[in-house]
């Protein structure tokens, strides 16, 4: 998994590309979030548009990231959900937990 | 039993077997076999993806919880396709577990847990899953799917 980030109006937009799976991207996602939090950034928008595969460990890490950011008084939201990830969030009922946006402008304005 | 033998030949059984060491990077090898087998059998890309996902979760559990990441221990996967009926057996060398004690990830108390969704995925994407535990060690998971019902998105198959 590759992560690239840029800041827009105080919101850290982190674009994730590739796989978030057990033993690989899951640990990377944890590190990316913890680095952002440690740098004082607690408004985080994860751009999931480039995520090709996510397994139950990846979904678990997404939930863990949400909890970490929320516990620090911040907000973690999702942008550009691929169809299969959207489907997985529905079957796991986690779609009720995450705020999901289809375009970056709307997402930034929501913080 | 010549008649029975002829009958099984007519069913055109496809059998593929692979054995891997307990490394996470080997999971994809097994997942890809599942996806290609399904696509070759006429299942669309989405349907093949979800079956591949169930296989991924089963192999990940075998490596992590069954074999405890011990690379000397093996995970075997057997795919048998007879007509539209796909049966997948994933076997590890672990001590087993009690399926009754696996918590429901849809329970609101468990919704924010960071683990415990793998078996739920398998149940969602496959028709039937069942475990058997060898008293001498080793767990076998058998998952079945009728590929005629395998197309489309996960929620329509659940």
Return per-residue pLDDT of chain A as tens, 111 residues: 999 999 999 999 999 999 999 998 888 999 999 999 999 999 999 999 999 999 999 999 999 999 999 999 999 999 999 999 999 999 999 999 999 999 999 999 999
How far apart, in whole angstroms, are the C-alpha atoms of residue B37 and residue B16? 9
Chain A residues in contact with B47 (beta carbon < 8 A):
none
Distance CA A96, CA A21 (A): 22
- Spatial CA neighbour of B153 closest among A88, A11, A7, A46: A88
> Tell me, what's the pLDDT at A24?
85
pLDDT computed for residue B79 by the predictor: 98
What is the structure's pLDDT at B156?
Answer: 41
Query: Is A55 in contact with B25 (Cβ distance < 8 A)?
Result: no
> What are the backbone angles phi and psi of residue B68, rounded to the nearest 5°?
50, 40
Own/partner long-range contacts of A100-106 (Cβ < 8 Å, ≥24 apart): A101/A45, A101/A77, A103/A79, A104/A8, A104/A13, A104/A45, A104/A47, A104/A79
Number of domains in chain A: 1
- Counted across chains A and B, CB pairs separated by less than 8 A come out at 62
Give the per-residue pLDDT at B150. Answer: 78
Interchain contact, B113 vs A63, CB within 8 Å: yes
Domain extent at residue A17: 2-109
Q: Which segments in chain B show pLDDT lower than 50? A: 1-8, 153-158
- Tell me the Cα Rg of chain B: 16
State pTM to two decimals.
0.91
End-to-end CA, chain B: 39
| Nearest residue in B to A21, CA atom | B24
Q: What is the predicted pLDDT for the residue at B152?
A: 55
pLDDT in the model for residue B11: 62
Instruction: State the CB neighbour count (10 A cutoff) for residue A49.
Output: 14
R_g over Cα of chain A = 13
Report the CATH number at residue A35: 3.30.750.24
> Taking CB atoms and an 8 Å limit, are A55 and B56 in contact across chains?
yes
What is the CATH number assigned to the segment(s) B10-157? 3.30.565.10
pLDDT recorded at residue B93: 97
- Yes or no, beta carbons of B153 and A87 under 8 Å apart: yes
Chain A residues touching residue B25 (CB < 8 angstroms): 23-24
Condensed to tens digits (0 to 9), the pLDDT of residues B57-94 reads 999 999 999 999 999 999 999 999 999 999 999 999 99
Give this complex's ipTM.
0.92
Q: Please give the pLDDT value at position A26.
A: 87
């Amino acid at each position: 998994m590759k992560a690239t980030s840029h800041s827009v109006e105080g919101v850290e937009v982190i674009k994730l590309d590739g796989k978030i799976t057990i033993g690989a991207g899951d640990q990377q996602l944890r590190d990316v979030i913890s680095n952002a939090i440690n740098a004082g950034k607690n408004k985080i928008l994860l751009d999931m548009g480039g995520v090709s595969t996510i397994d139950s460990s990846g979904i678990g890490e997404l939930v863990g990231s949400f909890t970490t950011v929320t516990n620090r008084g911040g907000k973690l939201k999702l942008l550009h959900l691929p169809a299969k990830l959207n489907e997985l969030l529905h079957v796991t009922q986690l779609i009720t937990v995450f705020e999901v946006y289809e375009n970056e402008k709307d997402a930034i304005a929501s913080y | 039993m010549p008649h029975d033998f002829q009958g099984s030949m007519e069913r055109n059984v496809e059998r593929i077997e692979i054995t891997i060491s307990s490394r996470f990077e080997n999971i994809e090898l097994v997942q890809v076999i599942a996806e290609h087998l399904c696509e070759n059998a006429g299942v669309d890309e989405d349907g093949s993806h979800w079956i591949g996902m169930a296989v991924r979760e089963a192999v990940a559990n075998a490596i992590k919880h069954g074999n405890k990441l011990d690379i000397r221990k093996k995970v075997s996967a057997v795919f048998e396709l007879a007509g539209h009926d796909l049966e997948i057996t994933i076997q590890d060398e672990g001590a087993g577990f009690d399926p009754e004690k696996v918590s429901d990830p849809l329970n609101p108390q468990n919704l924010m847990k960071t683990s415990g969704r793998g078996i739920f995925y398998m149940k969602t994407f496959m028709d039937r899953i069942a475990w058997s535990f060898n008293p001498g060690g080793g767990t076998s998971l058998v998952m079945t799917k009728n590929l005629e019902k395998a197309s489309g998105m996960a929620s329509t198959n659940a």
